[in-house]
Amino acid sequence: MYTNIRGKDKYISLFVLLTVPTILMILFVVYPLINLIYLSFVSWDGIHSVKKFVGIYNFQKFFTDGGVALSSLKNNALYFFFHLIFIPIEIFLAYQLDKGIRNGNFYKILILVPYIVNGVAVSYMFSSVFSPMIGAVDMTFKVLGIESSIRWLSDPAIVNFVLVAVSIWRFSGFHIILFYVALQSISRELYDAAKIDGAGEMNQFRYIVIPGIILVIELVLFMNMRGAMQQFDIPFVMTGGGPGFASTTFTLHTLNTAFLYNDYGLASAMAVLLIIMIIGFSKIQDMIVRARVH
């Protein structure tokens, strides 16, 4: 009988533990997603209650009349590729931390600080740094006797590279810590065995380190893809997407479409396409990485 009571308690506990998260997921993930998909097939200004079903018109409008939206994807691609280029550097720095460099704990805290700081605060800080009047960058050039006429945040040819640099500054430290934690899980005996077999540093890195942290690499690649496609706070605060639409990202344009142009149907279609692109590109990315590693 005592065993039966314990068995019932176990089932009740499991029911409660699974029911609450399931309800929360339905309320805050499943329902909004279904509603988003529904809105992508209607014409709605977000103000009036009338929603007119228009089928796939919003998707057609995006591909045939989505000049700014399509060009904004190029800006997202810049964030993606520059962060991608930095991933090997991040792995290398994590590897150096794992080897136990001097003052390693200090560097771990230092590189994680940018990620802890709120994204809006980071954006305001760098707006000041690149200000043409009182910016630290131009002031540094003046101290060095160099006359700078570079418009960091108002030149369409430069602005996206500045914003990408801010994004890298903010997120790279977090990636390094993730790689460092993964490296800590690799058994030291593997390194010792490899050294006995005559494996050099490069071979240890290729055959022990990379396979040992492959799951974290995939995680960081997914975060890179998702972060690049959803980039919003840095361009919104630092440039507002300008000059013109030069630094507008896909997410920023989606929000402008909904809240500035009152086209909720098109904005919802863009959001649905964004989800599809993130899932699709992430799958392709994982397949490429796994094929190269294995």
DSSP reduced 3-state for 52: strand
Confidence of residue 7 (pLDDT cuts 50, 70, 90): low
> What mean pLDDT value characterizes the chain?
86
The DSSP 8-state label assigned to residue 145 in this structure reads T
What is the number of alpha carbons within 13 Å of residue 94 lying toward its C-beta? 27
Q: Quick check: 49 pLDDT over 80?
A: yes
Calculate the CA 153 to chain-centre distance: 22
Would you state the pLDDT for residue 3? 58
83-95 average pLDDT score: 91
The least confident of 120-124, 142-146, 154-158, 163-167 is 142-146
Going 228 to 229 to 233 to 235, the CA torsion angle's sign is: positive
| Per-residue pLDDT reduced to its tens digit, 271-281 | 999 999 988 88
From its phi and psi, is residue 199 left (phi > 0), alpha (psi between -120 and 50) or beta? beta
| Per-residue pLDDT reduced to its tens digit, 193-214 | 888 888 888 888 888 888 888 8
Would you state the pLDDT for residue 105? 80
Would you state the pLDDT for residue 292? 67
20-49 average pLDDT score: 90
| Per-residue pLDDT reduced to its tens digit, 144-160 | 887 777 888 888 899 99
45-70 average pLDDT score: 84
Radius of gyration of the chain (CA): 24
**Phi and psi of 155, rounded to 5°?**
-100, 115
DSSP reduced 3-state for 142: helix
Percent share of the chain, pLDDT over 70 = 96
| Domain 65-291 CATH superfamily | MetI-like (1.10.3720.10)
What is each CA distance from 260 to 35, 67, 201, 257, 267, in whole angstroms? 21, 17, 55, 6, 11
Burial class (CB in 10 A: 0-12, 13-18, 19+), 165: middle
**Phi and psi of 138, rounded to 5°?**
-65, -35
